[in-house]
Structure formats: C-alpha cells, structure tokens
Structure 1
C-alpha cells in the first residue's frame, strides 16, 4: 500500500496503466518536453513545452514546438491537454502556439495566482494584467484528476522550487517538473521568490511515497560529470541513489545543503523573459500599442 505524508489526499494510483512517453530535448535550455499518449486511444498530452528565444536579438521562433506538433500530427494523435508543471524560470512555454495549431486545454496549478501576484509587482504590471489564473484553461488543486483518453491523470501539489509546482501522474508515469532531478543531479534550487527548501523536501517525500516502480520523468537534465543527458528514472532509484534526498537523508540535512548550495548559484539566463511569458500561460506581453515587448526590471530579483 502506498503511504503519504499527513494532510495529503489519497491519490488514485493505477500502475497497470502504462502510457507511451516520447521525450523532446531542447539543448538550448536543457529542458525535456513530453508527449504522453493514452495506450488505449489516440488521445495525448504535452508536458512542459518550449518556445525558442534569441534573447540578444529579441527574436522568438518555434522550432522545438513544431517538432512536437509534427510528431502529434504524423501519429494522428488528438491533443487534449497542454500541461505546465510550474511557471518555469529558465525557458519560455509554447503552450498557446501549440494550442492554436492542435487544440487542447492549458493547465497549471492553482497557486499560479501567488506567482502572478509576486511577479506582477516585480515587473510593474498594470491592472490589465489579471492575477487570477484566468489566462489558463484549468487550475489544478492537490489531488485533482482529469482525463486523457482512458487515463485518469491527477496532480500532486509539490511546492518548494516555486509555490505553484505540481507533479502530474498518468498511470505508472509521473512528471515531476523541477521537484527532482536524476539521482546524480539531486534537486532543484529553492531560492526563488516563494520557494523554500524545507517545503521542497516535504514535496519530494510525497513523490517518493509513490510506488517504487513508478516511472519519473524530469523537466531538466544537465549531464553531471559529463554523462549523456537522461530524463527517466524510478521512485525506487531516487530513494536509493538521489544525492540530495536518497538513503533517508533528513529534512535538516537537506535544508542546510540546499540553502548553502543555492547561495552560490547565478540567476537563470532566461529568467526575465521566462517569468513574464509563463505567468501569462505562454503569451508574450505587449506594450500600449499592442507590440510584443518585454521589460527588464533593475535590482528586482
């Protein structure tokens, strides 16, 4: 029987459902996006898509998203959901572009409103910027379920990296966003506004309480120590080998390690454009004349 930390719902785990997962790696941001297909139908979801940006040139393109669209089209799949595991700070979402081409609903955790309020102030957004999550089609709470064909997917609230992080589970496959990295990569930083190392540890324990055979899919991988890029592991492997939380490391040990490590990290290269776009469900903000435009706040982050 799967056990969970106190005050969490009982999640509807169905390990006998084995979705087909196709990864798409973006080397510019070390992001892995996924197409997740229902094994019983042509229904699918896209998780954590990427929109390409040449930041210095101020140019946006869609090569990565077009690759995903081409795969879905070539395999005659029906896109039902476009999922964001959180508001990413290191890449821009292509969700609205993919939705325009293929349909589907865009979903994120309901704590997006906290992120919108926080960064609405940082970027000095006016009252026209809605901070109620209405840019998205669905806002998930802990334990909420939704359908992808015959799959009953569900969301687990896993904050700590950001206040809006969620892990999405499809049968025997869980998409953890930045809550966990591969075992030799450990965990993501917890020093962004609204992040918290202790909360991240607690969230990781929720993920590690899933069955040991549960497949885990990462949002990022950086090839530690020169190894090839990887994106799939299991709960059992993470519990046994994760360098930050494996082998029963305590909450206190984790918080000390994470806090000290985060103090040495630079801000992500694309944090300024990413936050402005992703808190809008992937839409690029515009100026008063309707032209796509990004802001660069000074000494605000």
Structure 2
C-alpha cells in the first residue's frame, strides 16, 4: 500500500466514525509524571477487546531498580472493566522511559507490536552499545512488525497504521476509529514537536510525517505520548485535534514551511540535553521491553558508552 493510499484509507475510516456508521473507541489514559508519559488503553465498546499503547516500567536511575506501580494501574483498569487485551502497541522505541509491555503481557496478555523499521534502530544502537551477536537485530523480540498502511481490528474497531519517521526511523501512528495515537511526532500546540537529533532521526522527515498526519479530517482526535507542561499552563494534557494543531502548533501550524521548520528544529535540538533515561530505555526497548540478558552472576547490566552520544 502506498503512503497516499494509507492516508486515504485512514481518512475514510475516521469519516465513517464521524458519520455514525462505525464505532468510536473508549480511551483511558494513564499519565506518569516521572517521565511525562501518557499511556493509553483503547477498547472496543461492543466487544471489550483492547490495546495498551506505550506503557511505562518504573525505573530509578540512581539505584537501577525497576518497579510496576504505573503498569499496575493499567492492570487494575483492565480487570475492573473486564477488557480482553489483544495488543501491546509501541509507537516507537522510546528514549525517555522503559516499556512495561512484557510484564503486562504476563498479567493481561496481548501481542507485542512495533513498526518494522525497528530493525534500523536495533542495527544503529546495537553498534552504539557494542552488543554482541546474542542480540538479535531482526525484530524477533516482538510478536508483530507493522508496515505503513497495514490494517487490523481491535474487536470491531478499525485500525490503520501509518509510518511517521523523523523522531526515530521506526515511529508509527495508530489510527483507531476516529482517534490517532501519534507517539512522539507532535506535542500539544503550545509545546510544538519532537526532537529529531537522535541517531536515525531526521527533521525533514519529521516535518513531512507531521504534515501527513495533519491532512487527516480536522475533527480527528490526536492522543500524544508526552506532555512537558510549558510555561503558562498548569495542567498536563495529552489530547488535541488536527484542527487545533494546524491552527496553533508553535512549530508546524499552517504556513510554516519545511525549510523554516528544519532550521528551527535543528537549531533547537542542538540546545537539548540527552534524556535522563536514554541509556536504559533504548537498551531495554529495542529488546521489546526485556532487560539485557543476565551475566554469569545473574545480574542484568546497562551499558553506557563514554563520550559517544
């Protein structure tokens, strides 16, 4: 399926919901203030089938200890609502939080899936972290690798997958009913857009991916992966719309050219520090949320390349 056809299918799917001929998802969001991450549980109101998107494994960088308080909230909600989890979806291999997907699979089930370009991320970061041949770079840590334009269902909900690279090579957006889960491509209008300076990132690709998303119907609800509470706002937010983004996004509203965006994004990215959890996050998330294999003493270790990133 071509990118244009994938976009056409996604737009038609949304219009069916808006016209009342298809169903809209139930969405419950769990926000983790420690990592500013919004995790979403999306369910079909008719079948109670569900997907978990961008879950969080709690991690203390000082001690290296993990815990499950954030993910336990999702488990409690799933059980309370009687949901059948079919998917654990990742919009990309996050650099700012660890995924709880494997633990959630043990608790509530669901196939773990990400975009097929995760292979590029595994290859690039496999070299950065000097991983040996025991680390598979074929995406086999995941149950399914999505391609652009792929379609599937969550219960009776229609889902279209869109490849939206730029922040990383593997970013995917999931259009579920009339809602789009866009990962780190874009933030609330008053904060702008994601950085594009990680290995494999590209500001020009990011602009084009965002513009592609913003050609969806104006009523489309956009659910974000992060909110960083910019100056002037005192409440975390994670839902906006195509119309709001096109009118008000400080980086990519209508009228901002690709060249102006690339110049702004590249200049801004040079001022940003690496995310606090990038070292553990990428090493775990490129493994599908699994920790590196224990060494001979039974302990897993995170590698930190010195003077490299």
TM range (shorter): over 0.9
Alignment match, 2:13: 14
Is 1:248 matched with 2:247?
A: no
Q: Please show how residues 257-276 of structure 1 align to structure 2 within 5 Å.
A: 257-276=264-283
Deviations 1:79-129 (A, max 9, x none): 000100000000000000000111110110000000000000111111010
Is 1:295 matched with 2:293?
A: no
CA distance in structure 2 between the partners assigned to 1:141 and 1:158 by the alignment: 11
Alignment match, 2:171: 165
- The Cα shift of 1:287 comes to 3.6
So what's the TM-score if we normalise by structure 1?
A: 0.96
CA distance in structure 2 between the partners assigned to 1:222 and 1:51 by the alignment: 19
CA distance in structure 1 between the partners assigned to 2:26 and 2:295 by the alignment: 44
Segment drifting more, 198-207 vs 288-297: 288-297
Residue of structure 2 aligned with 1:232, choices 215, 219, 239: 239
Q: Is the 8 A contact 2:101 2:289 kept in 1?
A: yes
| Cα 1:131/1:271, change in 2 over 3 Å | same
Q: Is the 8 A contact 2:5 2:149 kept in 1?
A: no
- The Cα shift of 1:7 comes to 7.9
The runs of at least 4 aligned residues of structure 1 exceeding 6 Å deviation read none
Alignment match, 1:69: 75
CA distance in structure 2 between the partners assigned to 1:97 and 1:287 by the alignment: 17
Is 1:147 matched with 2:157?
A: no
Q: Is the 8 A contact 1:81 1:106 kept in 2?
A: yes
Deviations 1:251-278 (A, max 9, x none): 0110000000000000000000000000
Alignment match, 1:52: 58
Alignment match, 1:131: 137
- The Cα shift of 1:163 comes to 0.3
Q: CA RMSD in A?
A: 1.4
Secondary structure of the residue aligned to 1:79 is: strand
Note the residue ranges of structure 2 that are not aligned, 5 or more in a row. Answer: 18-22
Q: Please show how residues 92-103 of structure 1 align to structure 2 within 5 Å.
A: 92-103=98-109
Secondary structure of the residue aligned to 1:14 is: helix
Secondary structure of the residue aligned to 1:224 is: coil
- The Cα shift of 1:152 comes to 1.9
Note the residue ranges of structure 1 that are not aligned, 5 or more in a row. Answer: none
Secondary structure of the residue aligned to 2:125 is: helix
- Residue correspondences, number: 298
CA distance in structure 2 between the partners assigned to 1:121 and 1:140 by the alignment: 24
CA distance in structure 2 between the partners assigned to 1:7 and 1:152 by the alignment: 16
Q: Is the 8 A contact 2:7 2:216 kept in 1?
A: no
Q: Is the 8 A contact 1:93 1:278 kept in 2?
A: yes
Q: Is the 8 A contact 1:173 1:216 kept in 2?
A: yes
Q: Is the 8 A contact 1:10 1:143 kept in 2?
A: no
CA distance in structure 2 between the partners assigned to 1:199 and 1:179 by the alignment: 10
| Cα 1:6/1:78, change in 2 over 3 Å | closer
| Cα 1:73/1:8, change in 2 over 3 Å | closer
- The Cα shift of 1:247 comes to 2.5
Q: Is the 8 A contact 1:175 1:218 kept in 2?
A: yes
Q: Please show how residues 170-185 of structure 1 align to structure 2 within 5 Å.
A: 170-185=176-191
- The Cα shift of 1:220 comes to 0.2
Q: Is the 8 A contact 2:187 2:194 kept in 1?
A: yes
